[in-house]
Amino acid sequence: MAHIVLASSSPRRRELLLQLGLEFEVFSPNIDESIYPQENIQQYVERLACDKADAVLEKFPESVIIAADTSLGVDDKILGKPESKQHAFEIWSLISGRKHHVFSGVCVRTKEQKLSIVVQTEVEFQCLSLEDMENYWATGEPLGKAGAYAIQGIAARYIPRIVGSYTNVVGLPLFETAKLLQTIKTLH
């Protein structure tokens, strides 16, 4: 089996990838995550995943690199991680009482091959009161999470329904990632 590197500092991605029974190293690249003009959310998450994979491949040229990026989309807006309490409240106000979509771009690459995919999951969020928002913010869980929530944590209480991949909402769609790895191994 080839040496695998997960291009992410996310503990959730690390935990998810362990579910596939793989041994891997973790190395988090530092890339520019600015949104390009006219770039839609699918293009954005796929580009960032591929940029992360490219950056890590430079350091580990003989390895298989797995990279991902996750963001939320609502009303044609890309919602990333909250920059402040106020920003988190703005995000929650946008998704409260309605459906939104979580998109993850995944890139698996070697020096010979580069495969990527975008996975989309629909998430229904209950109406949040100001008290709900204050209480959830106080837990510290929203920090560093796309959309300012963690479906695998306390926020599960606010999510009555999803359509699609649960692991995508956590941050790494496992079924699709496993398929990309299988294809890379087949082509190798």
- How far apart CA 86 and CA 95 sit, in angstroms, is 15
Residue with tokens 């040229």: 61
DSSP string for 110-172: -SS-EEEEEEEEEEE-----HHHHHHHHHTSTTTT-GGG--TTTGGGGG--EEES-HHHHHT-
> Is 51 considered catalytic here?
no
Q: Which of 51, 54, 69, 75 is catalytic?
A: 69
Torsions phi, psi of 5, nearest 5? -125, 125
- For each of the domains in the chain, give its residue range(s) and CATH number, in order of start: 4-187 (3.90.950.10)
- β-strand partners of 73: 78, 101
Torsions phi, psi of 36, nearest 5? -75, 150
- How far apart CA 62 and CA 19 sit, in angstroms, is 24
pTM assigned to the model:
0.94
- Per this entry, what is the length of the chain? 188
Closest CA to 65 of 117, 27, 31, 33: 27
Buried b (16+ CB within 10 A) or exposed e, 2-17: eebbbbbebebbeebb
Q: Output the tens digit of pLDDT for each of the chain's 188 residues.
A: 689 999 998 999 999 999 999 999 999 999 999 999 999 999 999 999 999 999 999 999 999 999 999 999 998 899 989 999 999 999 999 999 999 999 999 999 999 999 999 999 999 999 999 999 999 999 999 999 999 999 999 999 999 999 999 999 999 999 999 999 999 977 65
